[in-house]
Amino acid sequence: MKKIIPFLIFCSLSFFGKSHAQTFDSISYKKMYKEVHENPFFDDSLTDATKIAGLSKAWAEAKFNFANFDLIPTVNWDSIYHAYIPVALAAKTTKEYYQVLTRFYTHLNDGHTTVIPPKELWNEMYAAIPIRAKLMNGAVVVTNLFYPIEEYQLLKPGTIITEINGQPVQEYSAEHISPYSSHSTPQDSLARLYSFNFTRGALAEHLDLEIVTPEGERIRKSFKRIPAEVLFSFGRDWTYRKNNNST
């Protein structure tokens, strides 16, 4: 029987918590990363046993491997784990379950430590509008349009996004995106949230945006999200380079 096993990212531990004598094996890491995403332990049927097993796996990985508990002395990881047991058991779908695990890991306050769902769920959780933006003087301003096709021409750099689905953009982000976003500092949180995360969600769901063009025209328009595999480089060919002789 397949089990739901969360894929966990511990960048701060995996590469920098080792002895300087140990080198980074990029070939093995690339192979492992591809295998995890191309052959995930995925099963869309949830039982109470698999929910507890996955949550416990996530708890244990951080409990015994997370390197930065000294930076969060007020966080009681065991207590948080116990508080999340009924939350995990209440999840009705695999997507909801992975949202619980992702929210669980935000308590570690580390931008490089998170739970990544299986690739089968990426278009349920990671599809997005193909833009990058930045929070500037309280306004969310488009800084880059990755796919300048006609459908997205209104989202050219300099465009201000004021609302998403009828909510002010910062209110929408705080309610729907921020609870699942891992970050290390308040500045890191804002940078991650408003660069690309704030339009993430299900591929099948459109986003109704209110925008102000660089010319000052206020427009409302519905935009489709782009599939996650188009936006992400995961699973494609990558290259690695050494920063120095110790990594």
Which amino acid, 103?
R
Q: pLDDT by residue (tens digit) across 103-113?
A: 999 999 999 99
Q: For 222-244, what is each residue's pLDDT tens digit? A: 999 999 988 875 335 444 455 55
Per-residue pLDDT, 230: 86
Half-sphere exposure of 105 (CA within 13 A, CB side): 31
DSSP-derived 3-state class of residue 127: strand
Q: How many CA atoms lie within 13 A of 124 on its CB side?
A: 14
Give burial (CB, 10 Å; 0-12/13-18/19+) of 53: middle
Query: What are the φ/ψ torsions at residue 204 (nearest 5 degrees)?
Result: -75, -15
Residue 46's Cβ-side half-sphere holds a number of Cα atoms within 13 Å equal to 18
The count of other CB atoms within 10 Å of the CB of residue 225 is 22
Q: For position 196, what pLDDT does the model report? A: 82
Please report the pLDDT score of residue 34 as a whole number: 64
Specify the length of the chain in residues. 247
pLDDT score for 28: 75
**Looking at the predicted structure, is the pLDDT value of residue 147 above 50?**
yes
Contact between residue 88 and residue 55 where contact means Cβ atoms under 8 Å apart: yes
Burial of residue 215 (CB within 10 Å: 0-12, 13-18, 19+) is exposed
Give the range among 44-48, 111-115, 176-180 with minimum mean pLDDT.
Answer: 44-48
Q: Quote the radius of gyration of the chain (alpha carbons, Å).
A: 19
pLDDT at 125 over 60: yes
The whole-number average pLDDT for the span 120-146 is 94
Share of the chain above pLDDT 90, in %: 63
Strands (DSSP E) contained in 59-164 are 113-116, 131-136, 139-145, 160-164
Answer with the residue of higher pLDDT: 34 or 215: 215
Tokens of 43: 């099963």
Query: Is the pLDDT score of 83 beyond 80?
Result: yes
* Tokens encoding 77: 């990881």
Q: Please choose, from the candidates 162, 171, 175, the residue with its C-alpha nearest in 3D space to the C-alpha of residue 208.
A: 162
Confidence of residue 12 (pLDDT cuts 50, 70, 90): very low
